[in-house]
Amino acid sequence: MKELSLHVMDIIENGLSAGATLIALMVEEEKDRDQLQITIIDNGHGMSEEMLANALDPFFTTRTTRRVGLGLSMIREASRRCDGHFDIKSKEGEGTEVRTSFRLSHIDRAPLGDIAGSLTSLIMGNPEVDFVYTHRVDDKTFEMDTREVKEALDGLSIQVPEVIRNLAHMIRDSVSDLYKNVTG
């Protein structure tokens, strides 16, 4: 995939398919350590030990719409190719955590991409699910929690196109602010 945000979207879709009602996405960039880490945690059904053992096999999937499950294996390989690490933990009945890292300056590292667009598409399509997005660049942090957004909307649906558009702009602007005055 050309953007890491598309990998993120694919992994979050896995959590949604597993019945998650809360998904946390953390993007952490540390310039001095030359590291980008992406963590996705969901409270879905989780996986058995057997399913977890097969999760990285590109020819294994629980989806009925396709015969391959490339998402996890693709991001693992992208991470390894960029001097990073990949880890997945899951417990049946509790959820799944996917953590992947990349050398930030690696020439083969795909750009993060339109994380705001990916996230707001997921929010719009899954209004019953709560999303917590945290983005940290060095010592500056932005956090957005759809539970707080929904409360502030006071009954207005989070699916209203103007709400989604404003949410996407807020995420983009806030993340852009994290990069101001950053060295490296």
CATH number at residue 98: 3.30.565.10
HSE-CB at 155 with a 13 A cutoff on CA atoms is 0
Residue at 114 is within a domain: yes
**45, 26, 38: which is closest to 145 by C-alpha?**
26
Residue at 103 is within a domain: yes
Which pLDDT score is estimated for 57? 67
Residue at 142 is within a domain: yes
Q: Around Cβ 21, how many Cβ atoms within 10 Å? A: 14
Residuewise pLDDT in 10s, the chain (184 residues): 789 999 999 999 999 999 999 999 999 999 999 999 999 999 999 998 888 877 776 665 554 444 334 578 889 999 999 999 999 999 999 999 999 999 999 999 999 999 999 999 999 999 999 999 999 999 999 999 999 999 999 999 999 999 999 999 999 999 999 999 776 5
Apex CA 109: angle with CA 8 and CA 62, to 5°?
Answer: 35
The range of the structural domain enclosing residue 150 comes to 4-178
81/109 Cα distance (integer angstroms): 8
Residue at 30 is within a domain: yes
Helix, strand, or coil here: 88? strand
Which pLDDT score is estimated for 62? 54
Which pLDDT score is estimated for 71? 76
Which pLDDT score is estimated for 133? 98
Residue at 184 is within a domain: no
User: What is the tally of structural domains in the chain?
Assistant: 1
Residue at 154 is within a domain: yes
Helix 70-81, helix 4-17: angle, nearest 10: 150
Instruction: Provide the token pair at 29.
Output: 């960039």
Integer-rounded Cα Rg, in Å, for the chain is 17
131/42 Cα distance (integer angstroms): 9
Residue at 167 is within a domain: yes
Q: Beta partners for 29?
A: 36, 137
Which pLDDT score is estimated for 67? 38
Which pLDDT score is estimated for 174? 97
Amino acid 67 reads R
Residue at 183 is within a domain: no
